[in-house]
Amino acid sequence: MSNSTPLDHSQQDAEGVRNFFDQWHIYRKVVDLNYLHHRETAEAIGKVISKITKPFSFIDLGAGDAEGTSRVLAGSPIKSYEAVDLSSIALGYAEKNLAALDCPKKFTQANFFEYVTETRSQYDIAFIGLSFHHLQREEKRRFYAKMRRILPSGGKYLFYEPICRSGEARDVFMKRWWDETFSKWDKMTPDELQKIWAHVSENDYPEPIEVYTEMALENGFKEANVLFVTDDKFYAAFECIAD
């Protein structure tokens, strides 16, 4: 068993995550085919945003190309936007996708865990999608506390991540996920699938829904709501409201 601290784990994985997402054509193909339910996620997050009438600040952690975020935020009363991602390629796309957003914008190349640890800024809404699960359980617990620190009372932490069954071991989940992916992601080439599997098997640490919600309530959030669960029961979107 490793004696490294939780933050050490994030630092060790950073290079591998960056290398994967720099192969942007694979990721974009997965998104365009909606294999990871990006459309449903955007719809769920969009419903939350649509109910906000006051100007708000927004931080997009692990932002990727922010294509979905740009659609969600279009027409909203956003007053500032910040994107954080490891990949400079992704941030370049994000800057283009968000060009029409009429508010001050900032794009930062950084590890999202480290950035949230170090920032002194506060945000009304924080979003992270398909990145939070790269942290192991104790890291996630610490991350909730860090997220609460950067949100005001009533601020929202929104995230979309893979979920496993209650008590399900990681290797059991991985086999189940891979069997489903291999059979249904038929428009990916064998080489693309292998690269996706290498990334997922090295970096993904899903949690049951009850663990995600319990950790939120233990770290300064008064509500932890499930916005939706995908039909295949592999992913869910959450809304956590700061106390």
pLDDT in tens, 60-81: 999 989 999 999 999 999 999 9
**Predicted model pTM:** 0.87
Q: Tell me if 223 sits within 8 A of 154, measured CB to CB.
A: no
CA torsion 31-158-91-16 (nearest 10°) is -70
Question: How many other CB atoms sit within 10 Å of the CB of residue 36?
Answer: 20
pLDDT in tens, 174-230: 999 999 988 899 999 999 999 899 889 988 999 999 999 999 999 999 999 999 999
Residue 12 CB burial class (10 angstroms; 0-12, 13-18, ≥19): exposed
